Chains A and B, each alone.
Chain A
Amino acid sequence: MRRPLLGALGATLDVALSQECRTAALCREERESVRKGLTIPYPLPLVRQQGPHAVIRFEQVSKRYESGHEALSQLSFEVAAGQMAFVTGHSGAGKSTLLKLIALIERPSHGQIVVDGQSLAKVGRSGVPKLRRRLGMVFQDHRLLMDRTVFANVELPLVIGGIAPAERSRRVRAALEKVGLLAYERQLPDSLSTGEQQRVGIARAIVARPAVLIADEPTGNLDPQLAVEIMGLFAEFQEIGTTVLIASHDLPLIKRMHKRVVVLDHGRLVADIAAEEVL
């Protein structure tokens, strides 16, 4: 049975059913609800530093590729913990490069980037996987493994993280329930629609409870209705404490979300619009 995507699990319920079990009463309640099969608790993200501090910080960051093309120039901005922001701009404005720098797929030519309290300049080759395990990444083309089931795809970050099988199963099912695809766990991604595949990608990105969720054109291949649903999912993750940064050029959709918008043009920051200013 498909679950409604938006508002299915509110932040309050999530806190109450969190895996962290902050009080004995909540733990009992959670165990009871799982036992009865009422719900699968979705765990809170492991945000290492709570509060209004910056989880993503760019300081005078430039990126020039070997071809000589300057994708980003003197870019400085911050995203606070638990904030959701869009990065937008025309094609080639530097949106994807910005996300690649956060995930250490590329290194900056100049400047400093700090993610979740860690300066990326100090992250060596062996530290890259550890950093990526702290990020959730969603791609326009989903990047799913088509020869593995939906469950196995979502399970990947947990297998890599060395999580025990029973715990993995619990978390994967919780993430799949969160994106409304629990009924499809044994299917191959090929048998799903594009929107469903994207939701599998999102479940994979959030299953390891990342502090930061980054998404590169996550609705690029989706029709407007599906795009709204997917963005709604991201908003839900923000509501439970995850910092979300989305690169998108879909301005009508961005306006509709009423979140902070960072506008790039030829690699430069040309506007930084607060959520309340988005009309």
Chain B
Amino acid sequence: MNAPAMTDKPAPRSERSHARRFAGWREHHGWSAMASLRRLGSRPLGTLMTVAVLGLALALPLAFYLLLANVQSMGDALGRNPAISVFLKADQASAQANLLAGELRARPDVAAVTIKTPQQGLDELATLQGFSGAVHALDDNNPLPWVLVVQPKPGLDAAAVDRLAASLRGERAVDLVQDSGQWRQRLDALLGVGHRVVLVLAGLLALAALLVVGNTVRTDIASRSEEIGVLLLVGASRAFVRRPYLYAGLWYGLLGGALAALLALAIELVLTGPAEALDGAYGGSLRLGALPWWLLLAVPLAAAVLGWVGARLVSAWQLRKAA
């Protein structure tokens, strides 16, 4: 079969023109990217200062994120088995303790109940430093009550644990209920505040990074106002004039973000030794974490976008003035 006749014909003028324009546009993007990088390299000190400011600003939220993630991880490890201690009234005897324990074991929100006799309580107290003398002084007069250690069902939320503790407080034989999960709730609340603080801080520091890039690009544009004037006079569009400055913003952001990721890794490295010692002290149950790789990659990319946006905003304003 013959090839279609169209293949022999040259492309229409408009198509050739679009192709030529696209090729020119692509070429200018490549040129702008390399020229802006060369311009950054031609003044190493200024570039280094800007990148360092950006790097430090972006590393701070990363460091806080690392700290919070590890505190949360420690909280998870330590508060994995929250228990409720139920202290019976002093006049309650073994039979009442066993009866109540049996009733509690039948509840759907209770996983296990352990009975601690007054003697076991006294023995535990005697093992604590400074208490052995006081325990011996008691002779046979043990003032400690019977205690039931109630383990809530795993996966129970804080409200359900609260309801369980409240119902235990309502038992006639019970004198005092101590919910060891409460500290975990307080820690969670504190971590919630911490997360919010990190988010606000990250937002503010991102804004600072935007302003740093914007100001750097602004001074760059101001110092090249003559060149911009010439370009506009010989027919350059604002997009054409703006392009190298946008790439400068992108490079600043990318380099600043990469430095921030490196700084965060360095902080992580510095903390590794003490963190391992802490983990060892808790028998290796703390599960201390590192910064995820995706975050280390995302920070330079997000910073590059931030730099581009900062340069775009400032250059649009500056060029409107120049035009």
A binding-site residues for B, Cβ under 8 Å: 103, 105, 125-126, 129-133, 135, 137, 143-145, 156-157, 159-165, 204, 208
Chain B window 22-44, contacts with chain A (Cβ cutoff 8 Å), 1 for yes, 0 for no = 01110110010000000000000
**Leading 4 A-B pairs by shortest Cβ distance:** A162-B24, A133-B235, A132-B235, A129-B237
From B21, B23, B31, B227, give the contact of A145 (CB < 8 A).
B227
Instruction: Find out whether the CB atom of B25 lies under 8 angstroms from the CB atom of A162.
Output: yes
A160-B235 contact given A143-B230, A145-B230, CB 8 Å threshold: yes
Instruction: Find out whether the CB atom of B24 lies under 8 angstroms from the CB atom of A156.
Output: no
Q: Is B240 an interface residue (CB 8 A)?
A: yes
Instruction: Find out whether the CB atom of B234 lies under 8 angstroms from the CB atom of A137.
Output: yes
A130-B227 contact given A162-B20, A162-B24, CB 8 Å threshold: no
Instruction: Find out whether the CB atom of B230 lies under 8 angstroms from the CB atom of A160.
Output: no
Residues of A near B21 (CB, < 8 A) are 162
Chain B window 215-230, contacts with chain A (Cβ cutoff 8 Å), 1 for yes, 0 for no = 0000000000001011
From B25, B234, B323, give the contact of A156 (CB < 8 A).
B234
A157-B235 contact given A162-B20, A163-B24, A164-B24, CB 8 Å threshold: yes
Residues of A near B25 (CB, < 8 A) are 162
Instruction: Find out whether the CB atom of A164 lies under 8 angstroms from the CB atom of B20.
Output: yes
- A131–B232 CA distance with the chains assembled, in angstroms: 11
A to B CB contacts below 8 Å, 7 in the list: A129-B232, A129-B236, A129-B237, A160-B235, A161-B235, A162-B27, A164-B24
A132-B24 contact given A145-B227, A160-B240, CB 8 Å threshold: no
Q: Is B5 an interface residue (CB 8 A)?
A: no
> Besides A129-B240, A159-B31, 16 other CB < 8 A contacts?
A103-B233, A105-B233, A129-B238, A131-B235, A132-B233, A132-B234, A135-B235, A137-B233, A143-B233, A145-B227, A157-B234, A157-B235, A160-B240, A162-B20, A162-B24, A204-B234
Q: Is B231 an interface residue (CB 8 A)?
A: yes
Q: How large is the interface on B (under 10, 10 to 19, 20 to 34, 35 or more residues)?
A: 20 to 34
Instruction: Find out whether the CB atom of B23 lies under 8 angstroms from the CB atom of A160.
Output: no
Select from chain B the residue with minimum beta-carbon distance to A132. B235
The prevalent SS among residues of B at the interface is helix
Residues of B near A105 (CB, < 8 A) are 233
- A143–B228 CA distance with the chains assembled, in angstroms: 11
State which residues 209-264 of B face A: CB under 8 Å: 227, 229-238, 240
Q: State the Cβ distance, A120 to closest chain B Cβ, in Å.
A: 15
Q: State the Cβ distance, A211 to closest chain B Cβ, in Å.
A: 13
- A160–B234 CA distance with the chains assembled, in angstroms: 8
Residues of A near B27 (CB, < 8 A) are 162, 165
Instruction: Find out whether the CB atom of B234 lies under 8 angstroms from the CB atom of A162.
Output: no
Q: State the Cβ distance, B39 to closest chain A Cβ, in Å.
A: 10
Residues of B near A145 (CB, < 8 A) are 227, 230
Residue picked from A131, A133, A159, A204, most chain B C-beta under 10 Å: A159
Q: State the Cβ distance, B236 to closest chain A Cβ, in Å.
A: 5
A156-B23 contact given A129-B236, A129-B237, CB 8 Å threshold: no
Chain B window 304-323, contacts with chain A (Cβ cutoff 8 Å), 1 for yes, 0 for no = 00000000000000000001
Q: State the Cβ distance, A60 to closest chain B Cβ, in Å.
A: 27
Residues of B near A129 (CB, < 8 A) are 232, 235-238, 240
Select from chain B the residue with minimum beta-carbon distance to A153. B230
Residues of A near B323 (CB, < 8 A) are 125
Q: State the Cβ distance, A218 to closest chain B Cβ, in Å.
A: 14
Chain B window 1-30, contacts with chain A (Cβ cutoff 8 Å), 1 for yes, 0 for no = 000000000000000000011011101100
Select from chain A the residue with minimum beta-carbon distance to B21. A162
Q: State the Cβ distance, B299 to closest chain A Cβ, in Å.
A: 35
Q: State the Cβ distance, A171 to closest chain B Cβ, in Å.
A: 14
Select from chain B the residue with minimum beta-carbon distance to A139. B233
- A129–B233 CA distance with the chains assembled, in angstroms: 8
Q: State the Cβ distance, B24 to closest chain A Cβ, in Å.
A: 2
From A143, A161, A162, A164, give the contact of B229 (CB < 8 A).
A143
- A161–B21 CA distance with the chains assembled, in angstroms: 8
Q: State the Cβ distance, A97 to closest chain B Cβ, in Å.
A: 16
Q: State the Cβ distance, B143 to closest chain A Cβ, in Å.
A: 90
Chain B window 42-64, contacts with chain A (Cβ cutoff 8 Å), 1 for yes, 0 for no = 00000000000000000000000
Select from chain A the residue with minimum beta-carbon distance to B17. A162
Q: State the Cβ distance, A80 to closest chain B Cβ, in Å.
A: 24
- A125–B237 CA distance with the chains assembled, in angstroms: 10
Residue picked from B20, B21, B28, B235, most chain A C-beta under 10 Å: B235
Residues of A near B237 (CB, < 8 A) are 126, 129, 160
Q: State the Cβ distance, A229 to closest chain B Cβ, in Å.
A: 23
Select from chain A the residue with minimum beta-carbon distance to B230. A143
- A24–B234 CA distance with the chains assembled, in angstroms: 34
- A103–B31 CA distance with the chains assembled, in angstroms: 28
Q: State the Cβ distance, B225 to closest chain A Cβ, in Å.
A: 12
- A46–B230 CA distance with the chains assembled, in angstroms: 23
- A163–B28 CA distance with the chains assembled, in angstroms: 11
Select from chain B the residue with minimum beta-carbon distance to A160. B236
- A202–B48 CA distance with the chains assembled, in angstroms: 40
Residues of A near B232 (CB, < 8 A) are 129, 132
Instruction: Find out whether the CB atom of A159 lies under 8 angstroms from the CB atom of B28.
Output: yes
- A259–B233 CA distance with the chains assembled, in angstroms: 27
Instruction: Find out whether the CB atom of B231 lies under 8 angstroms from the CB atom of A156.
Output: yes
